Amino acid sequence: MMLRIVVLVLIIVCADLAKGESKVPCYFIFGDSLSDVGNNNDLRTLAKTNYPPYGVDFPGGIATGRFSNNRTIEDFITTFLGFNKSIAPYSAQINEDILRGVNFASGAAGILSNSGSQLGDRVWMDKQIRNYLITTSKLVLKVRGHVSDYLNKCLYTVNIGSNDYINNYFMPENYPSKRLYTPEQFANLLIVRFRSQLQALYNTGARKVAVFGLGLIGCTPAQIAMRNATQCIDEINQAANLFNEKLPSLIDDFNRLPMAKFTLISLTAMQALNPLPPGIITTSTCCQLRSDFQCEPFTPPCANRNIYAFFDGYHPTDVVNGGVAESAYNTPNRMIANPMNINELSSS
Ligand SMILES: *[C@@H]1O[C@H](CO)[C@@H](O)[C@H](O)[C@H]1NC(C)=O
Ligand SMILES: *[C@@H]1O[C@H](CO)[C@@H](O)[C@H](O)[C@H]1NC(C)=O
Ligand SMILES: *[C@@H]1O[C@H](CO)[C@@H](O)[C@H](O)[C@H]1NC(C)=O
């Protein structure tokens, strides 16, 4: 019986996808460098990657501004949803395509407006929301009926907060946060801001929202090297974990609102429950590093990108992003995706 339902569902899904239709009509993406697909290219900032060896595996070898050798997590999710091309960056000023969604993510961006500012300009979360509101106002002329009724059907993913730690709290020479706040107070401050940012999305009609928690940012090669350490920096992981621990009740609060379907994707649970296969290198990076732990421009990357977890000092390779996306989309494990995975969220 169960099997028959599964088969039936698969047939329906495949029939939909075969018609060239995606599971949701539109997908809006918010976040930082993990999700950026070129929004920083024309900004004055070090946090941009529109140069080789970034994009070495991207069709045509183009360095689009993705912080990887090929696809982001959201690129994979876009494909799983049945879209036939990736969601364009806001900076591309796409016109008709805004109906299928826009990517607002920006490298070095944080929940707080000043996080990442030592690297230069960036589109912080409040500004991403401003750009989103500009986009939704343009939709008035493009959709039949209320824009909010259209937005109700769209998928939203939000993956932000790492820079509030890496490029703010744990950079006391550039930012006062660590002197002003305990890790607990800082996590509370981020949650207060994050709540109002997610509320702003809800207020426009966003109902299907997947929020990513922070990964083990103390385990990135950059953070380990900056501390001259040989293993993960527990102080950073523990501070980020205080933020992560507050996300479930934030998501629960949103799910009490009418029609809201918010879900939490826990990257730390994913990392603990689906460890990388043995043989994947995590202690060094695929590309040769600049002093800021991005790739040194125009240097050759490693030959076998599939055996490295990190492309540069902070950012995963395509193969890792694919694994994360697959898990976020399909996992039945409620430790990883709660109360549902992105496939269930999209179908709901
Ligand atoms: C890179 O991504 C494209 C989709 O944009 C995919 O078709 C291709 O197989 C990927 N290449 C590698 C080497 O991962
Ligand atoms: C993607 O699909 C849409 C219709 O759903 C079609 O108009 C468009 O030409 C397709 N694009 C590509 C690159 O195949
Ligand atoms: C790491 O080592 C370098 C070179 O030995 C030194 O200049 C730097 O101060 C050290 N940093 C820390 C955080 O210990």
CA of 107 to the centre of ligand 1 (A): 22
Q: Atom 14 (ligand 1): residue with closest C-alpha?
A: 57
The pick from 21, 78, 84, 97 for probing ligand 2's pocket by mutation, whose C-beta has the most ligand atoms within 8 angstroms, reads 84
Q: Are 114 and 74 in contact (CB under 8 A)?
A: no
Q: Which atom of ligand 2 sits closest to the CA of residue 21?
A: 5
CA pair distance 204, 206, nearest whole angstrom: 6
User: For 71, which DSSP code?
Assistant: -
Is-above-0.85 flag for pTM? yes
**pLDDT tens track for 149-165:** 999 999 999 999 999 99
CA of 21 to the centre of ligand 3 (A): 54
**Within 10 Å of residue 131's Cβ, how many Cβ atoms?**
16
CA of 204 to the centre of ligand 2 (A): 27
pLDDT reported for residue 6: 42
- Torsion (CA) 200, 104, 110, 75 in degrees, nearest 10: 120
7 burial type by CB count under 10 A (0-12 exposed, 13-18 middle, 19+ buried):
exposed
Q: Atom 3 (ligand 2): residue with closest C-alpha?
A: 20
36 burial type by CB count under 10 A (0-12 exposed, 13-18 middle, 19+ buried):
buried
Mean pLDDT to the nearest integer, 188-217: 98
For the record, the structure tokens of 178 come out as 């660590």
Mean pLDDT to the nearest integer, 134-142: 95
Model confidence at 260: pLDDT above 60: yes
Q: Is the CB of 171 under 6 A from ligand 3?
A: no
